[in-house]
Structure 1
Amino acid sequence: MAKKDKRRKEIRRKLLHKYRLVILNENTFEEKISFKLSRLNVFVSGSLAVIGLIALTTLLIAFTPLREYIPGYSSTALKRQATELTYTTDSLVTVLNYTNRYIDNIRKVLRGDIENNQSNRDSVFEPFKIDPAQVDLSPIREDSVLRAQVALEDKYNLFERPSADGSTLLFAPLTGTVTQGYDPKGRHYAVDVVAPRDTPVKAVANGTVIFSEWTAATGYVVILEHKDGLLSVYKHNGSLAKEQGEVVRSGEVIASVGNTGELTTGPHLHFELWKNGNPVNPLNYIDFN
């Protein structure tokens, strides 16, 4: 027991034994600063300093941008930005693919190319067809009123009204003599209408100009996009009155008859109609006489 008390006293003495830390002037040995220290307060001060340093480092990492420079640490803002960039990139790729397909379709219209697709398009939509027997098709009053209103509006539509056989009547781009008709076998997907030079060429329906440029083979060309997947193409024009992106009305002048391009033998209009990516006979829609 005496030995334990003696040991404790010895440890207490070592911990509490006072030391003096003195800072002297090297030349004059003048005492500048002095500190009274003991092993205990040095240990306590050092421990507090280490704990403070750890706490300060934790605060810097948690609440300042310095944490982004630590290897392996992921920032919430960077994650959000990466996610937004991923969605934006995916959207841009989708738009780019759509634009490329759209440009390919326009290029086919300009060249008059048609792909021989033997697949049955209806089979693609077969799984999504609805059995009419399971649907209530009884007309309601609101539907009847709407149908009557639409029919009344179409009755006085002079330029885009259905004909007796269900086809759409379009405004004639010009009046003239058809010298060459629609001939799919001969890869002539248009009608050639002879008219005097500088005769105004008009839009067959309301639409948007999606192409208005010079081409070597067909001269000045205008392509209009209409509703329901309809495109109208006007080639060999002498001049163009509309630019790409402009909106035109039915019967509005968009060009003039000319004799431009390599594939022409005189002033005429080479006119094409394309429906959902396939050429159709313009004479089924327009009377050029």
Structure 2
Amino acid sequence: MAKNKKDRKKITRKLLHKYRMVVLNEDTFEEKLSFKLTRLNVFVTITLSAIILIAATTYIIAFTPLKEYIPGYSSAQLKQQASQLAYQSDSLQQVLKLNNQYLSSIKNVLTGKADTSSLHRDSLLENPIMEQEIEAIEPSRADSLLREEVAQEDKYNVLPSATDNIDFSLFPPVKGSISEGYDAKDKHYAVDIVVAKNTPVKSVADGRVIFSEWTTETGYVIIIKHEYGLLSVYKHNASLSKEQGENVRRGEVIATAGSTGEYTTGPHLHFELWNEAVPVDPTDYIDFD
């Protein structure tokens, strides 16, 4: 404790010890100015000067036009001029469009496609020629047949329309008869397709395997994530040929059908289809026959 007190007193003496700063004439050594200073006074003076300098700089940047010369700042006048130039540019485009329409009318008169009564500049302002009217055309037989074909393709397409992505269509995982269909009321969000044991199960579309494991209730299960928020689920398999994280192609074998798990009554594929986290009836998009 005594040592600490001595150290403090020593520091205090150093801070308060007085010094004299003298300004002398170099030739005559005559004293011109003199100041009494302490270390504490010098520290306080420097600190206050720094604070005042920072405050003055902040004020100049915030409240004076000098801030316009700082990179990254733009004046209100420049912004106003930019807005006015944008409006003028838009107006010039409109004038240019009307002039082009007027010149087009002159051309039509000179080529005999129109009479001089239509050659009136003011009429463009009243009824400007925007675009040619679209003529209604009755669809041909070939067009009707094409529309019918596209509608049939839409029946088995999970997308809103077949034209959204022509390359995207669903491949049947297996072929067989459906023993139990999709029933949302009974919470059976799948179709059960009866197949022989060890029948190859194929991916309905390109995607990535996000689950490939054994479960007590549904045996070997594999889930694949596809484009457009689509998920396909395959349950009760006898074996799995793809692991989690692998990429699969449309029609590629991913498992073999079986009868594993507690909730099974024989060899079949329990197939689910989910679109944007909502279960959908697979028979609306895939033909299993």
TM-score normalised by the chain length of structure 2: 0.45
TM-score normalised by the chain length of structure 1: 0.45
